[in-house]
Structure 1
């Protein structure tokens, strides 16, 4: 009996390995490159909290040797801490090439300004000689190539591509199908919108605010929730602007991005107590929405955040 079970297990493992091998090589589009994988990565590293959550959403912990770029910038979310408790943080901020090499990594999931800098030490080109494949966050591609402003499909494409890379396509497709259904439900609930709500994304800064422009994922999230980003004409993903256009465009809702040393409550208080903002509709009506950093950057929490935005933008349609 034992030998029969062992034979069955061995046969199953052989069939699984053969079927997995049959799926390769796979090629995915990563910004302006095509990246081919001859086998699923076994020693992956992700950078930043949102990209790491994409890996966790696809249950890829057992393919990872660690993550980077979280604790040096922001507090590690308790839910994420539970998901990666067996994995080390290899670097609190952007990793050096040595960090990736010392971990014997074979895959790096990052983005431009999400673990890589244009012309920096760690890029797809600098890692290629060491056989470390890089997949770039789609939203971040604007830093190295022309692209359309993001939609939620950008995040979905990343999940689906990760599914192909790691041979978990069914898992990725099911996850994305669920997100699409949630978005459809939100669209149906808020119904036809005569005029989108004017929204300002306040990330940080007092002298000049740091905000999300046309190419940041908040623009796609705001639009999906029935709003319009008042900085949609700024051809950047995240950038510093002056307060004058914010005041002139008079947002009806302010989205606060919560992370770092200055709390969301302090950011709201700054806007409420500053006389320059007293006539803003958002301030007069106390319409602020707080999104955690991980919700305001591409990742699995975007759709749930869109639902909260829609509830604030269109409360009568709830």
Structure 2
């Protein structure tokens, strides 16, 4: 990694007040001698975590957003000063060429198991990696997804970048906001059965026990009908969806096929006519950045909780 005079000066200043710190990243302990000064984040939800922590000035760019049509108007304004280094997953050369010293990514969020870009392949180039907590299931065991996954990432990023006070303030604010919102809602008469429809027509791509929507649905008072699927995001058979008869279907809006098109596919297909959610046209739309770990999870829980009570 090439260091400019400005970067070296920043490191000297940061190092004088920064004690060496270690965070847990999936199955690894990662030690930082100083806060990163040239970070890259992959995917819109990880980028938003960096932005809400006020870390844009510590970044040299982002990757993996425009290639999947995930950049909405709010995010377009938020990243105006940062370049997109790769429209999809970055190559190792892209990160090295950007003089990056830190990569915030996850398994299937910018890195693939056994792929070209991993913590091990980047280490020789002075690029440290912090892995998205939700994604750790792809390389080992973890607890089923919960809101704590997102809070854990914010807390660890706060430690890495020496903005722990800011991170804790955000977390406490999110928790208080969500608790107050849910407490003001009327109780549910019954727990709704919910199916997450991300994509796919021959077979649906959905959220299992280790994907963030499982946590969002539970926090809002529902039950993910695929919560016994011991995976994160995965495909299942339509037969299982029909058999479990969801009362609510959550469509994830991103990519070439819109949420409206996904709803139309299910509403117009005779094979789904007897599903409770289809019969009663109970569809909820979540944007990609709401359905994956990040700051928009709070609004996602509010959206779900409100809709569950309007059935």
State the TM-score, normalizing by the size of structure 1.
0.91
1:33 is aligned to 2:31: no
Which of 28, 42, 45 in structure 2 is aligned with 1:50?
Answer: 45
Shift of 1:192: 5.0
Query: How far apart, in 1, do the equivalents of 2:268 and 2:92 lie?
Result: 45
Partner of 2:123: 128
Which of 169, 176, 196 in structure 2 is aligned with 1:174?
Answer: 169
Q: Following superposition of structure 1 onto structure 2, how do residues 1-318 of structure 1 map, counting pairs within 5 Å?
A: 17=13, 21-190=16-185, 193=188, 195-315=190-310
Query: How far apart, in 2, do the equivalents of 1:190 and 1:81 lie?
Result: 33
- Contact residue 208 and residue 233 of structure 2 kept, 8 A: yes
Shift of 1:23: 3.3
Which is greater in Rg?
1
Q: Gaps (5+ residues) in structure 1? A: 1-12
Shift of 1:168: 0.9
Query: How far apart, in 2, do the equivalents of 1:21 and 1:113 lie?
Result: 36
Extract structure 1 runs of 4+ deviating beyond 2 A.
20-23, 189-195
Query: How far apart, in 2, do the equivalents of 1:292 and 1:186 lie?
Result: 20
Query: How far apart, in 2, do the equivalents of 1:32 and 1:191 lie?
Result: 41
Shift of 1:183: 2.2
Query: How far apart, in 2, do the equivalents of 1:186 and 1:244 lie?
Result: 36
Query: How far apart, in 2, do the equivalents of 1:235 and 1:21 lie?
Result: 45
Of 186-195 and 76-85, more deviation after overlay is shown by 186-195
Residues 18-51 of structure 1, C-alpha deviations (whole Å, 9 max, x = no match): 7x63332111110011111111100000000110
Shift of 1:75: 3.7
Query: How far apart, in 2, do the equivalents of 1:65 and 1:23 lie?
Result: 21
State the TM-score, normalizing by the size of structure 2.
0.93
Shift of 1:194: 5.7
Aligned CA-pair RMSD: 1.8
- Contact residue 186 and residue 225 of structure 1 kept, 8 A: no
